[in-house]
């Protein structure tokens, strides 16, 4: 049985949800120069906003002006918590100023007050795929150690402002994505292709984010000991393609790039597994005296992670062609239209692997199916495929708790309301339980409506998961 205080909810992030990119004095973020694409492939990055080009994050689905309506819908489903992120560039427009932007802080005061009106706990990511663009232009992004201080200032500001209002925090969304070649721009403002010392830059950026995360954890605990502060890992599960030991070893070596971050977040030091990663890249992060203490003093309270799919690894495997989470095709699994292979048992494994390794409470802060929805003649979305995906993953998660005795705090499916895809910028890659009327070109009145999965998930929460076992 899941505990009665299990945190059921849903997950979003400002860069894909909030919009209003120039309102309330907000500064530009890296995502604001990241163009959408219609081909399901990775998006184009521009150095600055090109006149006439369409940038999906500028309006996104306008949570900024719809938050009351959206939160009421989440409350109707019975959410106990709601995962969102604070846009750093709404609080510090350039990232390196001394004084925060009051209008930005006030916006989140109002959002949190609205969540509390419905007894929903905010779960807040401090950096979800965005940072002030000026930090990239002036300092070269997370390559530069000064960002640790700028991030600490931002964290201190929001920890003080929202003391007693926000209890659950996550530091960097999918921090390991900066090591996977997939999302270094969104994750850390980096483009490796143009960098002669890509491996060194990547390890330095990772080190700076790990220091910044540890500083944040320590600050958050000092400001309010009731704060529970977690990390956030992307869990890209890999299986060896065959039982050939070399395939198994290769799968493990790829997973080690995720444990690199988990080890430092949870154990407070670079472990032997981390050193093996340095060897693999032929570089080591530049460290300074005192760094060891900072890392040791900032270990996380829990592990937040995202899980969508798995891949296989080995010589000659067939590629899925999926964007971002691409990998080897597994003959036992089906794929989403975007090539992400659907593997609920993989979630149970992920929970076990992480719990066995770290013995810290876990929180599934993202999981879901990106799919093309159609609205029928009566204006309804009959998304049985999404219900099926979620039900199978929730069942696997409950098995991990009930049969494997993993400690799990909560479950927040990704994009509980349709929002912009991080990898492609598309609207048509929808995850929501709530439909938003907007297309890939930005057309649509942004009206919200309940999908079939909305009513289903409401029952899941009402029965504390029991309904998925029927």
Active-site residue numbers? Answer: 174, 366
Question: Nearest CA to 312 among 411, 360, 244?
Answer: 244
Residue 260, phi then psi, degrees to nearest 5: -50, -50
Q: At its nearest, how many Å lie between ligand BG6 and the CB of residue 442?
A: 17
Which of 234, 347, 387, 396 is the binder for ligand BG6 (CB under 6 A)? 234
CB atoms within 10 A of CB 260: 26
Round to whole Å and give the CA distance between 316 and 328.
Answer: 9
Q: How far is the CB of 441 from ligand BG6 (least distance, A)?
A: 18
Q: 3-state DSSP call for residue 169?
A: strand
**Structure-token pair, residue 201:** 């830059």
The nearest distance, CB 309 to ligand BG6, in angstroms, is: 10
366 sits near ligand BG6 (criterion: CB under 6 A): yes
Q: If binding is defined by CB under 6 A, does position 131 make contact with ligand BG6?
A: no
Among 421, 434, 435, 438, binds ligand BG6 (CB under 6 A): 421
Query: Would you mind telling me the total number of residues written for the chain in this entry?
Result: 470
Residue 453 makes contact with ligand BG6 by CB under 6 A = no
- Is residue 129 a contact point for ligand BG6 (CB under 6 A)? yes
Q: Please state the closest distance from residue 279 (CB atom) to ligand BG6, in A.
A: 27
Residue 108 · residue 397 · CB < 8 Å: no
Q: Going residue by residue from 8 to 27, which x/- string records binding to ligand BG6, judged by CB under 6 A?
A: -----x--x-----------
Would you say 368 or 465 has its CB closer to ligand BG6?
Answer: 368
Smallest distance, ligand BG6 to C-beta of residue 412, A: 11
CB of 405 to ligand BG6, least distance (A): 28
Task: Tell me how far, at minimum, the Cβ of 261 lies from ligand BG6, in Å.
Answer: 14
Of all residues in this chain, which one has the CB nearest to ligand BG6 in the complex? 423
For the segment 54-113, give every residue that binds ligand BG6 (CB under 6 A).
Answer: none
Query: What are the helix (H) ranges across 18-62?
Result: none
Q: Which residue has the tokens 């070596």?
A: 253
Burial-class residue 53 by CB neighbours within 10 Å (0-12, 13-18, 19+).
Answer: exposed
Q: Per-residue string for binding with ligand BG6, 156-195, x by CB under 6 A? A: -----------------xx---------------------
Residue 52: half-sphere exposure toward Cβ, Cα within 13 Å: 0
The SS3 assignment for 294 reads helix
| Residue of the chain from 324, 342, 351, 362 that contacts ligand BG6 (CB under 6 A) | 324
Residue 130 touches ligand BG6, criterion: CB under 6 A: no
The interface region with ligand BG6, picked from 90-98, 235-243, 296-304, 417-425 by CB under 6 A, is 417-425
Q: Binding segment for ligand BG6 among 40-48, 95-103, 242-250, 418-426 (CB under 6 A)?
A: 418-426
Shorter beta-carbon distance to ligand BG6: residue 270 or 457: 457
CA gap 178, 185 in Å, rounded: 8
Q: How far apart are CA 91 and CA 100, in angstroms?
A: 5
How many residues contact ligand BG6, by CB under 6 A? 15
For binding to ligand BG6 (CB under 6 A), which residues are involved?
13, 16, 129, 173-174, 234, 306, 324, 366, 370, 414, 421-423, 429
């Amino acid at each position: 049985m899941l505990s009665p205080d299990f945190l059921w909810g849903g997950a979003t992030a400002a860069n894909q949800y909030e919009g209003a990119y120039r309102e309330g004095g907000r500064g530009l973020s890296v995502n604001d120069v990241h163009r959408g694409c219609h081909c399901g492939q990775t998006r184009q990055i521009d150095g600055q906003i090109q006149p006439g080009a369409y940038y999906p994050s500028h309006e996104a689905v306008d949570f900024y002006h719809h938050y009351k309506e959206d939160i009421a819908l989440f409350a109707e489903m019975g959410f106990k918590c709601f995962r969102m992120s604070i846009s750093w560039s709404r609080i510090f427009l350039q990232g390196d100023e001394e004084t925060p932007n009051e209008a930005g802080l006030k916006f989140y005061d109002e959002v949190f007050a609205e969540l509390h009106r419905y007894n929903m706990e905010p779960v807040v990511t401090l950096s979800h795929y965005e940072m002030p663009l000026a930090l990239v232009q002036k300092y070269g992004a997370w390559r530069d150690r000064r960002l640790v201080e700028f991030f600490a200032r931002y964290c201190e500001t929001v920890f003080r402002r929202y003391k007693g209002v926000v209890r659950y925090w996550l530091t960097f969304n999918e921090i390991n994505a900066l090591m996977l070649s997939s999302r270094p721009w969104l994750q850390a403002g980096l483009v490796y292709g143009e960098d002669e010392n890509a491996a060194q830059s990547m390890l330095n950026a990772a080190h700076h984010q790990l220091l910044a995360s540890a500083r944040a954890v320590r600050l958050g605990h000092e400001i309010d000991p009731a704060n529970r502060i977690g990390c956030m890992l992307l869990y890209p599960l890999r299986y060896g393609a065959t039982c050939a030991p070399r395939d198994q070893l290769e799968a493990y070596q790829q997973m080690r790039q995720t444990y690199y971050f988990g080890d430092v977040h949870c154990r407070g030091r670079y472990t032997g597994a981390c050193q093996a990663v340095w060897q693999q890249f032929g570089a080591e992060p530049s460290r300074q005296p005192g760094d060891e203490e900072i890392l040791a003093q900032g270990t996380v309270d829990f592990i937040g992670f995202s899980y969508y799919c798995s891949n296989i690894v080995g010589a000659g495997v067939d590629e899925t062609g999926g964007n971002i989470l691409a990998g080897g095709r597994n003959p036992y699994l089906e794929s989403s239209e975007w090539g992400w292979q659907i593997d609920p048992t993989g979630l149970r494994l992920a929970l076990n692997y992480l719990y066995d390794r770290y013995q810290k409470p876990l929180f599934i802060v993202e999981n879901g199916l990106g799919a093309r929805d159609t609205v029928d003649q009566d204006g309804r979305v009959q998304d049985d495929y999404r219900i099926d995906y979620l039900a199978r993953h929730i069942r696997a998660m409950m098995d991990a708790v009930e049969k494997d005795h993993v400690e799990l705090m909560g479950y927040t499916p990704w994009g509980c309301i349709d929002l912009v895809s991080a990898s492609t910028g598309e609207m048509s890659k929808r995850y929501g339980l709530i439909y938003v009327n907007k297309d890939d070109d930005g057309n649509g009145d942004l009206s919200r409506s309940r999908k079939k999965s909305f009513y289903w998930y409401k029952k899941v929460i009402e029965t504390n998961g029991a309904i998925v076992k029927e």
